[in-house]
Chain A
Amino acid sequence: MKQMAFTYQSGLSSESVTLQNKIEMAEEIKDTSVISIKNLNVKTKDGDILKNINLQIPKNKIIVLLGPSGCGKTTLLKSLNRLTDLHKELKVSGQIIIDGQDIMKAGQNLSAMRQRMGLLSQRPFPLPASIYKNVAYGLKLKGIRSKKLIAHSVETNLKRVGLWNEVKDRLKSPATSLSIGQQQRLCLARGLAVKPTIILADEPTSALDPISTKIIENLFKDLKQHYTIILVTHVLRQALRLADHVVFMYYGEIIEQGHPDDILKNPKTAILKKYLVDGN
């Protein structure tokens, strides 16, 4: 059942599966996957960035997006919470169904939809405010006014990312006074504070030292009991350490996907083989 969920994919192997099979599989996947992407296309006037992406993302797992620079991993991630809206030059089409709702449909409550997903980017971007306010920010946007509730949430979430002891005496200092590794954990804490169910992480450890990286990786392993994590990484060893499922992309298409032990150790396509060899 778990394996089947992962074989529903676009592109190369589609000839081997009949249409009937596809429909059946899609039905079965429904209850286990939180995100289902159908025929997602992202275009600019110069060309296609994502070409007909079809992907099922199962619940409470770590899904790793792998692929050479510029293949569209970040764009795919940003489509999931419609941050692509910020870039008016991008034309996005297709369906992205999250918890049964198509987020591409107009009239969506974008804020509430985005709060279901925490975003962690390549470099930490603390908001121009204090450490405390960074974590409290999403809560205030949610309409929570109780000072006690907010203070409690700030403390719990800073503890979760192992930052509380380091910052508890200077919660009022600007967030930019933290080190990059601390800032990244702060960004994770403020994302968790709004209680998302999905975490979108775009190379979250690429700017971090080995120790901070380890902290984030361990956090992810814990978090996946309650969260679905979509992680972009260039580090193959990190993919092996964390992934339940690996999706390999190339020039805006999904080329291959599967369990990390399968596809990273026995890649089927020449492209992935070459990527793995060059990457190591």
Chain B
Amino acid sequence: MNRKRRLTDSLVNIWMRGGLYIILAIPVFIGIGLYWKAAPLLNEHSLTDLIFSSKWFPMKGEFGFLPFIFSSVYVTLLAFILSAPLCLFAAIYLTQFSKRRLLNFMLPVIDILAGIPSVVYGVWGILVIVPLVSGSIAPFFGATSSGYSLLAGGIVLAVMCIPYMLNMLIEVFHTIPVGMKEASLSLGATHWEMVKHVIIRKGFPGIISAFGLGIAKAFGETIAVLMVVGNTLNITLSPFKAGYPLPALIANNYGEMMSIPDYDSALMFAALLLFVVILIINLFFRYFIHKTEKI
């Protein structure tokens, strides 16, 4: 009896440890696999050439990723600027100012928004945002645009990030103890001062991590952006021009034009780049949270 129990115990133990190791091994294998496939390209070109050159002529064997990197960063930052302040204020309003009933109504709505597949956001972008950009926003700023643009990509991405970040921020603000809010108020703070000194201050690491994860998600998002961003090589500051982010490059071209030497390898390098950037963003924000949590 005792032996059987001990056997079960150790089996469960092995099973759980095994699961853990597999989970830990997945990103390592992905990283190694991508590097291995990208290696031919990396052998022929220097890393700085690949990242900082804007000459993209696969036929001639020239692979400069700068336009893709630029588009990705542009669209991500645009999405972040459009969504982050909105999410922050909405989360503060919902958790600190509104009636509990409104929050209870909003939570499932946010979940539903977060659960909508990205293709649907893409279709919505084509039907609503693209015409809006070409018909109203661009003319308002005296520009002409087909609508398929960095701005359209940024807006669609922002809308996709909102439920994701809002959810995390609400959770962050809910973990702040009521006693701390009471302490601030009882010392004479107004409601808004309390929010500033306690909610934002105490929630700061959480806010940063929600923002960081939002950025990482936006950077890697593929389908919805690909549908509205125009997919044209461009390095331009104008949000009304088209762009071509990294994920779109991979999704559009993988499996085609494989006759071109190194093309396959170049797409793998794009994937590796995405993988590394998202890893770095995550690690950076986690380190930051770790550093600030001690306040």
Interface residues of A (CB under 8 A from B): 78, 81, 83, 86, 88-89, 110-112, 114-115, 117-119, 121-123, 125-129, 137-138, 141-142, 174, 176, 187, 190-191, 194, 200
List 6 tightest A-B contacts by C-beta distance, closest first: A119-B186, A138-B187, A125-B179, A115-B188, A141-B188, A128-B202
Does more than half of chain B's interface fall in helix, strand or loop, or is it mixed? Answer: helix
- A115-B188, A194-B188 as given contacts; A125 in contact with B180, CB under 8 Å: yes
- Asked if B294 lies at the interface with its beta carbon under 8 angstroms from chain A, I say yes
> Which of A86, A126, A128, A194 neighbours the largest number of chain B CB atoms within 10 Å of its CB?
A128
A86 touches B182 (CB 8 A): yes
B interface size (C-beta, 8 A): 23
- In whole Å, how far is A23's beta carbon from the nearest beta carbon of chain B? 34
> Which B residues touch A191, using CB under 8 A?
186-187
Output the least CB separation between A89 and chain B (Å): 6
- Known contacts A86-B181, A121-B183; A129 and B201 CB within 8 A of each other: yes
Pair A127/B100 contact, Cβ less than 8 Å: no
Having A115-B187, A117-B186, A127-B180, one finds 19 other A-B pairs with CB under 8 Å, namely: A83-B182, A83-B185, A86-B185, A110-B190, A111-B188, A114-B186, A114-B187, A118-B186, A121-B179, A125-B179, A125-B183, A127-B184, A127-B201, A129-B295, A137-B187, A141-B187, A174-B294, A174-B295, A191-B186
The distance from the CB of B186 to the nearest CB of chain A, in whole angstroms, is: 4
With both chains docked as a complex, state the minimum distance between the C-beta of A98 and any C-beta of chain B, in angstroms.
14
User: How far, in Å, is B11 (CB) from chain A's closest CB?
Assistant: 42
Quote the shortest CB–CB distance from A207 to chain B (angstroms).
12
CB distance from B205 to the nearest CB of A (A): 10
With a cutoff of 8 Å between Cβ atoms, the chain B residues found around residue A123 in the complex are 179
What 1/0 flags go to B63-106 for Cβ under 8 Å of A?
Answer: 00000000000000000000000000000000000011000000
A127: which B residues are within 8 A, CB to CB? 180, 183-184, 197-198, 201
Asked if B115 is at the interface of the complex by the 8 Å CB criterion, the answer is no
Contacting pair B188 A187 (CB below 8 A): no
Contact B186 A112 (CB under 8 A): no
A selection of 26 A-B contacts at a CB cut-off of 8 Å is A78-B182, A83-B185, A83-B186, A86-B182, A88-B99, A110-B190, A111-B190, A114-B187, A115-B187, A117-B186, A121-B179, A121-B182, A123-B179, A125-B180, A125-B182, A125-B183, A127-B184, A127-B198, A128-B201, A129-B201, A137-B187, A138-B188, A141-B193, A176-B295, A191-B187, A194-B187
Residues of chain A within 8 A of B202, CB atoms compared: 128
Interface of A is mostly: mixed
Q: Does B177 contact A (CB under 8 A)?
A: yes
Least CB distance, B149 to chain A, in whole angstroms: 42
**Docked complex Cα distance between A117 and B183 (Å):** 11
Question: In the complex the two chains form, what is the Cα distance from A114 to B190 in whole Å?
Answer: 10
A interface footprint on B191-210 (CB within 8 Å = 1, 0 otherwise) = 00100011001100000000
Q: Which residues on the A side are within 8 Å of B193 (C-beta)? A: 141
Q: Whose C-beta in chain A lies nearest to the C-beta of B181?
A: A86
Contacts of B177 in A (CB 8 A): 125
Asked if residues A119 and B182 are in contact (CB atoms below 8 Å), the reply is: yes
Task: Check: B189 CB closer than 8 A to any chain A CB.
Answer: yes
Binary interface profile of B, 31-64, with partner A (CB < 8 Å = 1, else 0)?
0000000000000000000000000000000000
Interface centre among A118, A121, A176, A190 (most CB of B within 10 A): A121
Contact B189 A111 (CB under 8 A): yes
CB neighbours (8 Å) of B184 from chain A are 127, 137
Chain A residue numbers with a CB within 8 Å of B112 are none
